[in-house]
Amino acid sequence: MSLFKTVPPNVVQSIRAFRVTDLQEEAARLGQHFLYAYCAEATTKQQVLAIIAGAFHFPRHFGKNFDALGDCLTDLTHKSGQQPGFIVVLEQLPNTQKFDKEARETLLDVFRDAADFWADKKVAFRVFYSFQ
């Protein structure tokens, strides 16, 4: 039985009742990429983006801005060939003066845009996040 029977294939949502290990196991079961970034140590946008870039194995030239993040999640990955789907976990996104509600929403909007991009290509892209 699928862990995602009530979760659309292209969504950005709070992790809520899901456990990271269950999401990782489901990604393996479905043959999808599992991308995990633990962001609790970050306090700024640049630090959050650096953690995501490292965890997701983005190229060295990654620009550490929201536009570059969007490019890496969509165009760059799309150009690397057929994709089986994605389960993304952004755990413990910071709530700091330098990474405030507006920055968190902008980050999640980038992931929402990526979910829409992959939906157009009929590729699942599920993002689960939590805040500190």
Q: How far apart are the first and last CA of the chain?
A: 31
Q: For the segment 35-76, what is each residue's pLDDT rounded down to a tens digit?
A: 999 999 999 999 999 999 999 999 888 888 999 999 999 987
Distances (CA, A) of 40 to 46, 99, 124: 13, 12, 26
Asked whether the predicted pLDDT for residue 17 surpasses 90, the reply is no
Instruction: Provide the pLDDT for residue 1.
Output: 61
Tokens at 37, concatenated: 């970034």
CATH class of segment(s) 10-131:
alpha beta
- Is pTM, for the whole model, over 0.85? yes
Sign of the Cα pseudo-torsion (106, 75, 63, 43, in order): positive
**HSE value, Cβ hemisphere, 13 Å, CA-based, for 79:** 6
Instruction: Provide the pLDDT for residue 79.
Output: 82
Rounded to whole angstroms, how far apart are CA atoms 27 and 3? 10
Q: For the segment 75-123, what is each residue's pLDDT rounded down to a tens digit?
A: 878 788 889 999 999 999 999 999 999 999 999 999 999 999 999 999 9
Residues 19-29, mean pLDDT to the nearest whole number: 96
